[in-house]
Structure 1
């Protein structure tokens, strides 16, 4: 398959210019190896026993060639993390090591966190603009920085197109398949998580079906800050069986370690928080909205009718959240959501740049945007007039334009890095 450029490439260009070691974190199948291998002079695939044995025999890379060294799936030999850390302490040159893995460093017993020595870059499934549907006409970076930019462009995509994008996934090995083929691949992916990946991460599963039921309940909470106790209550089976709170906390911990859960935190402004009454619960998201759709048995067709209609909006927001986070990560910005305690005001996505500049975004499953759709954006702009550079609605309509009140209206398919 031809390599499609990823936004993380820009981030790696920057990090590898001054960091000796960079870990690319993300779930299996997200494209970490394909991206990292394009930059490496030598690769060790640690999940291969023969290559792992070579690495074990030379833990400090004495016989390694010059240039960038890639240690792929490093968690199969956690000691290599400490070896790299020590070599960084010994003044390894910039760009010397890339580590890719599908598990957090805390899964390696005795593994140092790497803080201050090994930089991290988060890799997610492909953003909408990375999938090659259309050429973006609006830059998230320019919106955030407040650069004067014309909001224009036209998209032929309809709501049905976005439903297909949701169900066909952003995993590179899946999104190019037909929807039926993608469903089969996603079923296999989810089953391997339960049968192999989680046990490898240290989770002992006595009742695998109970875990899958909890994951389905979590999927049903996509794009909401509903409490974990409510998710737990939704896990009860027809026979009345329900996992304990401790069991579900264990589920969450291990699913987070393998990067399958990707909750969106509440936004906390870096330079003083003017919102004294604010809720801090995260919004729930799986790594890819296609996983949520598959756990719930939803197809692009069912999302368009009454069977899947309740989840159509939340899954579109999940797709938009993925897209915005991928772009923001590449430019060193952070993303959160905002909701006041009273529930009077909420903003789906708040992007904050390095100097505290803010871009606020709402996501709407609609071909039209009216005044009620922008009221929270205008409220936030009024609260922080010196920091909010732009406000915008991401929607499923066809035209990108700017309203008279300054709110940009942008088809999700036209938003790029």
Structure 2
């Protein structure tokens, strides 16, 4: 039996099962949704089990409530294969009036307009991500994101990460796919992300909504996305890349493919944070291009970890995707929401992490130590701009950031004289 690597979402799933009749876990394929759900479930129905699939579908067509019978919580894996189960679960939750009855898992964002009821108040939605470095036991977790918010004056000086740059590159290329951790050899671990990409292009891009799509075009889109990862590349730029391979590929078709990839949780762009501290025309508002896991970008580029040994500049963009993935995982219990800030003067924060209690952090991602000074300067300048705006404004005051942080691929943590926390990604946890 394989070892279960504890996930950040475990505690959140416990909470949702105590507060809702059913929990829907969504997230990228292969990120571990079913395995995590099985740790809590007392009975399981796997809709894609080839030994039982036909009988399950036949049962659903006659009396779907029969599939809901069993010990609770009852896991229904890939429930969207029989959408009527959504309404059956909702009805059963209403009938019994109990919490923690069902767990539903799915690898795509289902169109709930195809169901009778939305599930609001009965079915709680929980997002799951690929594994963070702390979950894969590569970050030592000596610096807590929660504690940095709660006690920003806490001493982090001298805490070190044991991750070398080569290990960090491998972790990004391998990705946060649980199955990869059990493969024998670094080369075998890398194949998982490559297989993931191939499955998306050959099968999932069409099965997600029943619209037949071209695998070659899908791969070209993902390759363009990878070349533009962690940038504000416009959709028109990606479209131009595809036109170099197919001159009859319309912008409308591109939108269809991108929407399908979003529903599969393959691409997850960051929205802009647009505080009223400068003219609206000076603040960049486009989406920052991101994947749900850095390994998808690497697989789409078609490069090996060794490639990045001599191209750390390109790896810096992949590193940013890794950091964003991990911050999403670590901030989940704080109800964190990530965005970015950039204006036309060059002032930026690679990420802005807002918590549901109003606190927020301005964050820069810098792979090497030589870039930390520049990143810290961006953060302190932006903080001062916010402060000056609040002094002059007669309207609602904009809260100053509660935390300034540079997340780095280096090994030493410390607090700078200007208050900016420098934190290696190999030390961070929730």
| Residue in structure 2 matching 1:378, options 377, 380, 391 | 380
Question: What residue is the counterpart of 2:229 in the other structure?
Answer: 222
Distance 2:339 2:125 in 1: 19
Question: What residue is the counterpart of 1:286 in the other structure?
Answer: 291
Residue 325, structure 1, aligned to residue 328, structure 2? yes
Question: What residue is the counterpart of 1:207 in the other structure?
Answer: 214
Change (3 A) 1:176 1:149: farther
Q: CA deviation at 1:382?
A: 2.4
| Residue in structure 2 matching 1:76, options 66, 72, 81 | 81
C-alpha root-mean-square deviation of aligned residues, in Å? Answer: 2.3
Question: What residue is the counterpart of 2:395 in the other structure?
Answer: none
Where 1:164 maps in the other structure, the secondary structure is helix
Distance 1:139 1:86 in 2: 41
Question: What residue is the counterpart of 2:352 in the other structure?
Answer: 350
Distance 2:67 2:176 in 1: 39
| Residue in structure 1 matching 2:424, options 400, 405, 411 | 411
Change (3 A) 1:163 1:245: same
Deviation track 1:282-320 (CA, whole Å, cap 9, x = no partner) reads 2111221111101101211101114xx442111000000
Assess if the C-alpha contact under 8 Å between 1:175 and 1:182 holds in 2: yes
Residues 133-144 of structure 1: pairs in structure 2 closer than 5 A: 133-144=138-149
Where 2:402 maps in the other structure, the secondary structure is strand
Change (3 A) 1:312 1:111: farther
Q: CA deviation at 1:114?
A: 2.9
Where 1:284 maps in the other structure, the secondary structure is coil
Deviation track 1:375-408 (CA, whole Å, cap 9, x = no partner) reads 1211232244644111111112111110111111
Q: CA deviation at 1:63?
A: 6.8
More helix by percentage: 2
Assess if the C-alpha contact under 8 Å between 1:391 and 1:408 holds in 2: yes
Residue 19, structure 1, aligned to residue 20, structure 2? yes
Q: CA deviation at 1:195?
A: 2.5
Point out where structure 1 has 5 or more consecutive residues left out of the alignment.
none
Assess if the C-alpha contact under 8 Å between 2:59 and 2:66 holds in 1: no
Question: What residue is the counterpart of 2:33 in the other structure?
Answer: 32
Change (3 A) 1:274 1:356: farther
Where 1:130 maps in the other structure, the secondary structure is coil
Point out where structure 2 has 5 or more consecutive residues left out of the alignment.
388-398
TM-score (norm 2): 0.88
Residue 316, structure 1, aligned to residue 323, structure 2? no
Question: What residue is the counterpart of 1:245 in the other structure?
Answer: 251
Where 1:173 maps in the other structure, the secondary structure is helix
